[in-house]
Amino acid sequence: MIMRQAACPRVSIGVPVYNGARYLPELLDSLLAQTFGDFEVIVCDNASTDATEAIGRAYAGRDERIRYVRNRTNLGATGNFRRSFDLSCGTYFRWAAADDVSAPQFLARCVEVLDREPGVVLAYPKTKFIDETGRVTSEYDDRLHIQCARPSERFWQVVVRLGRCNALYGLMRADVLRRTGLLGDFLAADMVFLPELSLYGTFWEIPEYLFYRRFHAAASSAMDRAQVKVFYDPSNPERMALRKWRHLKEYLRAVARAPLDAAEKLRLRLYVARIAIGSRGELAGELFSATRRLLAGAPR
């Protein structure tokens, strides 16, 4: 029997997975091939019904750095992301999706930045997109090398530049993550989490393509709106409504949590008001749709 590591590693990697048997071995192989070896991998299985459990247990049996945990019920996507972090103990943390691949130097280059730059809270490498077979289909420019001294300026730059949110899979300071709201149970929670994280420090983009993000038919990025709602909250998918309104609310909650002075918090609230004004059409559309659904379900 392989004995578990007694001390906490420097890096924890959370692998939230649901029915990810097809690509999970490739992801785990890429993590075990890292040139930086002081890490743990927490495979957090969200009550999968495919071969995910067998794969997770097999890898955990072969390498003491891998731990397999199975949820009794499906917690929803973001709930499983949070659980994988809660189970970690490393100084630095990253999430790794079960269908993506990391180059061998991924961790080493990110750890190097966080060790050298105390003001950086997130280090991430550049991204290439791959298909079902692993063929590179394109390169993506996240434009999130954000070094502004003022938190409000960093927040605004992240909000306006965010696209595919590849930086969510970068390496972060675990102590900072614990001060944020992490990923909430609402649609596109990563679009709120990354701006909030920027309130605590800067983002550093490593100019090497070390992250391969896979897009395929079963990926969440390919789901329709109804499927995405179930993906986020399988117990109550209809709760996943009013996305824009929820984002505004969560921006304000993030501002309230952040350890900033009154002037910075005022600037941030003004930015949120600016976002609301720019999104007024979508906000009105969401209210109209919600009202129509409510009236359609009311007794006659």
Strand 136-140 relative to strand 120-130: parallel, antiparallel, unpaired? antiparallel
**pTM over the 0.85 mark:** yes
Q: Would you state the structure tokens that stand for residue 241, as one six-digit string? A: 């409504």
Residue 268: predicted pLDDT: 98
Contact 283, 276 (CB under 8 A): yes
Give me the residues paired with residue 45 across strands: 17, 70
Residue 1: predicted pLDDT: 30
Query: Mind listing the domains of the chain with CATH numbers?
Result: 11-222 (3.90.550.10), 241-297 (no CATH)
Q: Would you call 215 helix, strand, or coil by DSSP?
A: coil
What is the rounded CA–CA span in Å between residue 43 and residue 148?
A: 35
Residue 283: predicted pLDDT: 94
Where would I find the beta strands (DSSP E) of the chain? 11-17, 39-45, 66-70, 92-95, 101-102, 120-130, 136-140, 171-173, 202-214
Residue 224: predicted pLDDT: 60
Closest CA to 196 of 237, 264, 250, 139: 250
Walking along the chain (300 residues) 10 residues at a time, the average pLDDT comes out as 63 98 98 98 98 98 98 96 98 98 98 98 98 96 97 98 97 98 94 98 98 84 60 63 92 98 98 96 90 68
Closest CA to 193 of 239, 109, 251, 140: 251
